[in-house]
Structure 1
Amino acid sequence: PWDRELSARLYGGDRETRIQQEIILGVGGVRVLKAMGATPAVWHLNEGHAAFVVLQRIRDHIERGESFEAALAEVRRTTVFTTHTPVPAGHDAFPFSLVETHLAGAWGTLGSYRDAFMALGHYDNGSGPQFNMTALALRTAGSTNAVSQLHGEVTREMWGPIWPGVAEDKRPVRAITNGIHAPTWLAAEMVTLFDRHLSLEWREDHDDPAIWERIMDIPDAELWEARSSLRNYLFAFIRERARSRWKEEHVSAARVVAAGTLLDPSALTIGFARRFTGYKRPELIFHNPDRLLAILNASRRPLQLVFAGKAHPADDTGKHHLQQVYRRAIDPLFGGRIAFVDDYDLHVAHFLVQGCDVWLNNPRKPLEASGTSGMKASVNGVPHLSIGDGWWAEGFTGDNGWLIDPKSSGDSDAIDAADAEALYDLLERQIVPAFYDRDANDIPRRWLAVVRRAIISVTPRFSARRMVKQYAEDLYARAATSAQV
């Protein structure tokens, strides 16, 4: 039947398709759990896309004879909401007529509480009132959180009209910074190293900072050997992937070069892998091509860049950035020191976050809610080089990576120029010298000091274990206790 197509793909389709998908997720999700006999004590909405959960739950309470106000109060007591993006396009909004039409298709008439339902989602973001899914979630959740400390500040300011008359610092949005599942992203070489030098308790208690201080006990030679092996694995993967494409798909020679076959396994390698979209500024490092070329081709201290990622099918700006980076990868001017690894997926991501030497992130502040790729890199001893946005605004300690922060102001062009110059300065004055400053045994001890601090500071603090504990203790337990009162 035609409606099977609604869940066939995540992206694509028009607004009507989108609202149908969100009704399936929200209304359908509640009904599925009910059919399974599940009775959750707490309902956690991740993003506004799932917010129709609360309307179905309110309706269920009303059908049991409760008033609208009582039903809303009960739903609010047992609902937790996490907002994940400060980018306006990430917050779905629909015409009221479209919402009413499709909810009527799921329920029949909305009845006497139609206006009360619609008021929960009413929001004007400057282009006229619409039914906003994030506004619906904010008004019906007992607890709301953002996904980094800075994102919490942005969210309280961005959604101020939801709480008229409430001072910004009093608006009910807390922050629980995202974290990663370290065992999934750690390379086998790093696991072996940790097993040898840390207590084996690190596997279960990797959110304990005290355990990670023992990283200081790992000899420089062993740590550097592990990092060098991971870089070699990355380049072997890139070469074999390009060879396979050439042999099996008969791709062009230019595409083989762009895939990274000319990269130097011993050169300092910076990775940039994520969704390509405008606010992430994937082309920032190319802002001054002449200065970048001088850094890439410095005598005895070369630098190379590995890009990977995809753009949203409807994001023409993101597609343009991707195409421009690819053109640089095939441009002879850059001499094969820029690569674009296509068909980006989790398999490719593992090699990149484990095998690069530095992880680059340069979003337009403050549009990065959190970001996690830099966490995945840091736990593997790949220091982060980033704008002070998302998690890095609280994660940077001064010695565990590098902060791009020229403290610039002005329009976007002026900020881009200042950020690019600050990036080049860091590369020329700190990052490249530290990597190539070797002792008699060819070990970059100054570099390894940053590597150690990256592992020590990021692994426990930005682990999923810490994050889940925070959700359980700060949000779930409170909501469950409130529901029992």
Structure 2
Amino acid sequence: MDQLEGVLDGQKIAYFSMEIGLNNEIPTYNGGLGVLAGDTIRSSTDLNVPLVGVTLISKKGYFRQKLDEAGRQTEHPEDWDPNRYMKMLSTHVSVNIGGREVKIGAWLYENKSPTGLKVPVILLDTDLEVNDPQDREITHHLYGGDQVYRLKQEIVLGMGGVRMLDALGFNIRKYHMNEGHSSLLTIELLNRDGMNSKKVKQLCVFTTHTPVEAGHDKFSFDIVDQLITDEEIQRLLRKYGGKDWKLNMTLLGLNLSNFINGVAKRHRDISAEMFPGYKIEAITNGVHSYTWTCQCFRELYDRYIPGWANEPELLVRVHGITDSEIWNTHMKAKKQLIDYVNRLKNTDLDYDSLTLGFARRSTGYKRPKFIFQDIKRLKRINSKGRIQIIFAGKAHPRDHEGKKLIEEIFKHIKELENEIKIVYLENYDMELASKITSGVDVWLNTPQRPLEASGTSGMKAAHNGVVNFSVLAGWWIEGCIEGVTGWSIGPHPSEDWSPEETETLEKDDFYNKLEYVIIPTYYQARNRWIRIMNNSIGMIAYYFNSHRMVHHYVTNAYL
């Protein structure tokens, strides 16, 4: 096929993900899951791993966030033109949804590495004239609509994705499901391979990303039977994915995969408790080093650590860079962020104050209001050493609690406006994430344990010498050496405390360390602070990167 010249050579790993953050201009991602998928694509390209990505086109994106003066969020479509970034392929396949044949087209995006290598990504599209109007909208909104809309999307991604790869002529060695959204591909493989479940298991890899029960897609069989009318498929779904009268997409993936992994060591253990009887491995997440290192630190590493971008483990040699160069480079990044925020918000953040960053999806378990639990004490801490705080993050359109949290942060911003400078930036995306994670002094992370599977924003911060201050959850359990690579908040997960006791300990530890350790170190022991910045790079970034992660997938799951 001329349109795929050079793309079809050899066997491929098919990497299925509902969202993939290809770049900031292509809004086919929401947050951590999609950005991680994009980093997986980027590292696979750099390392010449024979991967092909499969996702949905999401022509109206996730949404563009607008916040009014009270922090009330409204959502707006983020229309974009795929023709600017990729090419439409001539091949079409179809799936049956609710008794109707739905045609699926495909776009080809080629991710290119500075090394000249490429990895193809296939983006599935139902917005074709031949389809009914309701079916044309299936691939419009990322995570949009209700349960019926979501299951339609998952039929297109899983079943349609396998059919599209076959129709295009790809020779697939393994099918990697990045979360349960694509688990229906297992049913397609069963049908294709004569119901040989052992063969299908050998073909499939499943990565679970959430220890939150609500994060696992489940559909009532009333909805399933309404949309998937084939009785044999209905039987298979009940056999491999049925539980509590619902189709559990995670269970479907687990039952038909030979390799299953969580995204951090602690997450592996939690997943094993959630799904007893399954052998679950751990491959801790990482971030794409070159993408998430700001320009001024890229230039510094280029001078002292040639080859770091394609061999991030070389960042262990950062100790050869002088403290003054580390600090001056950080201040360049901080100045760029502060100038950007001041222009955008017409505020007066300064370069010298200790700047804390908190930016991620606004939802209850991430506890974005954690720092405001004791306003009186926060004011006292600020009097000992000035702090300023930069927030950002979207709430899912149906997450009313998440929206309320943003409004409450805005109230605190107003309440403290004459004492502590605080801003909340709207429409958090990859570009803004890069600015914040490289420009603040401290990266704050306060999830409710054990609900954070891994997290990756702190890894991005570490690539830029930004210091982590985080609850011991997800990847930070593996990355934190107290006072050496950053600071923890609260007790270690191995300690046996009730949830109420844990919250009290976390609150006390947070304010105590901020007041008696972090602020004095930043303002009065700058050499010690820079040593922690140096360790963030040489002891965290060198390991918590997606090149190492992809190496582990290749050796443990793909070969």
Shorter-chain-normalised TM-score: which range?
0.7 to 0.9
Q: Distance in 2 between matches of 1:204 and 1:410?
A: 43
**Where do 1:101-140 residues align within 5 Å?**
101-104=226-229, 109-111=230-232, 114-124=234-244, 129-140=245-256
1:203 aligned partner: 309
1:41 aligns with 2:41: no
Counterpart of 1:201 in 2: which secondary structure? coil
Contact 1:287/1:417, CA 8 A, preserved across alignment:
no
1:175 aligns with 2:296: no
Deviations 1:450-485 (A, max 9, x none): 0011101111211110000100111000xxxxxxxx
Contact 2:362/2:368, CA 8 A, preserved across alignment:
yes
TM-score after normalising by structure 1: 0.84
1:316 aligns with 2:400: yes
1:401 aligns with 2:466: no
Offset, 1:418: 2.4
Offset, 1:119: 1.4
2:453 aligned partner: 369
Contact 2:237/2:247, CA 8 A, preserved across alignment:
no
1:158 aligned partner: 274
What are structure 2's unaligned runs of at least 5 residues? 1-132
Contact 1:273/1:309, CA 8 A, preserved across alignment:
yes
**Max Rg structure:** 1
**Where do 1:402-421 residues align within 5 Å?**
402-406=487-491, 412-421=499-508
Contact 2:490/2:507, CA 8 A, preserved across alignment:
no
Offset, 1:122: 1.4
Q: Distance in 2 between matches of 1:410 and 1:147?
A: 25
- Given residue 426 of structure 1, which amino acid in structure 2 is its aligned partner? K
What are structure 1's unaligned runs of at least 5 residues? 164-170, 244-260, 439-443, 478-485
Deviations 1:320-379 (A, max 9, x none): 111111221222455352111112111211110010000000101111000000000011
2:380 aligned partner: 294
Pick aligned residue for 1:236 from 315, 329, 339 = 339
Counterpart of 2:355 in 1: which secondary structure? strand
Pick aligned residue for 2:534 from 452, 455, 461 = 452
Counterpart of 2:136 in 1: which secondary structure? helix
- Given residue 15 of structure 1, which amino acid in structure 2 is its aligned partner? Q
1:345 aligns with 2:429: yes
Q: Distance in 1 between matches of 2:237 and 2:144?
A: 28
2:544 aligned partner: 462
Contact 1:384/1:401, CA 8 A, preserved across alignment:
yes
Change (3 A) 1:373 1:433: same
Contact 1:51/1:137, CA 8 A, preserved across alignment:
yes
1:358 aligned partner: 442
Counterpart of 1:329 in 2: which secondary structure? helix
Higher relative contact order (CA 8 A, sep 6+): 1
1:280 aligned partner: 366
- Given residue 58 of structure 1, which amino acid in structure 2 is its aligned partner? L
Offset, 1:17: 1.1
Pick aligned residue for 1:31 from 153, 163, 169 = 163
2:325 aligned partner: 222
Contact 2:197/2:256, CA 8 A, preserved across alignment:
yes
Offset, 1:116: 3.8
2:15 aligned partner: none
Deviations 1:52-89 (A, max 9, x none): 0011111122xxxx3x3xx2111111100000101111
Contact 1:45/1:82, CA 8 A, preserved across alignment:
yes
1:54 aligned partner: 186
Deviations 1:409-441 (A, max 9, x none): 666554333212110111111111111015xxx
- Given residue 351 of structure 1, which amino acid in structure 2 is its aligned partner? K
Contact 1:263/1:337, CA 8 A, preserved across alignment:
yes
Counterpart of 2:228 in 1: which secondary structure? helix
Deviations 1:87-138 (A, max 9, x none): 111111112232123122xxxx324x743431100123xxxx3111000000
Contact 2:203/2:257, CA 8 A, preserved across alignment:
yes
Q: Distance in 2 between matches of 1:47 and 1:392?
A: 21
Q: What is the number of residues matched between the two proteins?
A: 424
Q: Distance in 1 between matches of 2:478 and 2:497?
A: 24
Counterpart of 1:297 in 2: which secondary structure? helix
Contact 2:444/2:470, CA 8 A, preserved across alignment:
yes
Counterpart of 1:369 in 2: which secondary structure? coil
Q: Distance in 2 between matches of 1:123 and 1:87?
A: 17
Deviations 1:127-173 (A, max 9, x none): xx31110000000001100000000000000112xx2xxxxxxx410
Pick aligned residue for 2:220 from 95, 105, 110 = 95
- Given residue 218 of structure 2, which amino acid in structure 1 is its aligned partner? A
Counterpart of 1:293 in 2: which secondary structure? helix
Counterpart of 1:202 in 2: which secondary structure? coil
Q: Give the root-mean-square deviation of aligned CA atoms.
A: 1.6
2:206 aligned partner: 81
Offset, 1:30: 1.0
**Where do 1:180-191 residues align within 5 Å?**
180-191=287-298
Offset, 1:3: 0.9
- Given residue 286 of structure 2, which amino acid in structure 1 is its aligned partner? G
Change (3 A) 1:205 1:133: same
Counterpart of 2:324 in 1: which secondary structure? helix
Deviations 1:376-407 (A, max 9, x none): 00110001100110000111123100011246
- Higher strand residue share: 2
Change (3 A) 1:145 1:283: same
Q: Distance in 2 between matches of 1:213 and 1:205?
A: 11
Q: Distance in 2 between matches of 1:426 and 1:173?
A: 36
Contact 1:12/1:314, CA 8 A, preserved across alignment:
no
1:257 aligned partner: none
Large movers: runs of 4+ above 6 Å: none
Contact 2:379/2:419, CA 8 A, preserved across alignment:
no
1:20 aligned partner: 152
Counterpart of 2:307 in 1: which secondary structure? helix
Contact 2:465/2:533, CA 8 A, preserved across alignment:
yes
Offset, 1:214: 2.5
Change (3 A) 1:285 1:421: same
1:192 aligns with 2:299: yes
2:348 aligned partner: 262
Counterpart of 1:330 in 2: which secondary structure? helix
Counterpart of 1:307 in 2: which secondary structure? strand
Offset, 1:14: 1.4
